[in-house]
Structure 1
Amino acid sequence: MSRVTINSYLKKIRMQIVKYCESLQPEKAAGSASLGHRAHALHQPQDIAVAVKTDVDRIVKPVIFGIYKSDNKVFTEILPDVSRSMIQAIARGRSVLETVGSAERIRRFNGVVDLSQYRLYHLGHGHHEAESKTVLDDVDGFWGLTKHRLAKFKGLNRNTAYLHLKECEFRYNYRHEELYAVLLNLLKTYPLNLS
């Protein structure tokens, strides 16, 4: 088999993992989209280039995602309408006036990651101390696994970032189980279309 064929199969398996992970997500936030909408949005020209600062020559829109825990599982969501400055302001406890809807959506996450800087921002919540520590441990554990796995690629294509993120979510949530058996059961539910 060629490398191209293997990569094609891996991409199809990752797409089935995405469908499975999205089916387990407890709540869909307003403004969140499915895989098809995200893939289409990542290919849009206006989504690729957004100025971070006016004095910066390079125009980049970072991939930013939120992490939250529900029912002893960690879930992630790409945040296409969130900027780096919004995350920094919210992490410091400041209010963000420009886009109140986006700011409120960010607050429901336990952590937000700016993938272009490989940086995790913890968002403070007023939960019970022991519960909050467990949630933060899971967020840190998930980010450690994700950071380690994505660093191996030495750069990540923006179009496949969501697939890799959901694969890391799947691996983290089933880390105490036989991953091969879980994957076989998943592929029975969501069979591959190899044609």
Structure 2
Amino acid sequence: MSVWHGAKARRAAGAALAVVALSVSLTACGGGDGGGDKEKSAGSSSSSSTPGDAKPKESDGPTVPDTSKTLATINGSKGLQFVIHTATRDEGGFLTITGTLKNTSSSSETIPIAWNGSETQVRRTGRSLAGFTVVDKAEKKRYYVLRDTDGYPLTTTGISRLDGGAAEPFFAQFPAPPASTTQVDLQMPLMPTATIEIS
């Protein structure tokens, strides 16, 4: 019995040693590449501040709208307001709309659940702006927010409450209408319809 336990312990120790050796060798390989990058960045002037400043701009790019333009302002109840900044066709055949969701009141407001959309597939994914739809009146078609392969809507998610005077950037992505369509209606439950220009 003790011999069997001893053999089992030796096998376990050997396996643990192999795992440690493998992780050390992988770390050594990875460290060589990372060290070269660190040396390169250390050789350049303002190495610590410049890359640090650039990375947030790159990661924030898709979600922060260009606020220099305003295509439409949609005012709802309790001070909630959508300011639409851009409606841009992408090369892949998508229409991406960006804007700012504001609470113009002085009190904290709950985001309406109706903004999640009524489709079963997106209701299970939690709070979102999947209730947005785009209507092409010329073609008599309605477009819904696109979904990824897991059913999550391609729009801003997770906003359930907005403090008084606060603002949050948002986006929503749709199938693009035909190139001949230059104007569409943007609709959100409980909010007025807004007509916007596609660029």
Task: Sort the TM-score into its range (normalised by shorter chain).
Answer: under 0.3
User: As a proportion of its length, which structure holds more helix?
Assistant: 1
- TM-score normalised over the length of structure 2: 0.27
User: As a proportion of its length, which structure holds more strand?
Assistant: 2
The structure showing larger relative contact order (alpha-carbon pairs under 8 Å, at least 6 residues apart) is: 1
Q: Which has the larger radius of gyration?
A: 2
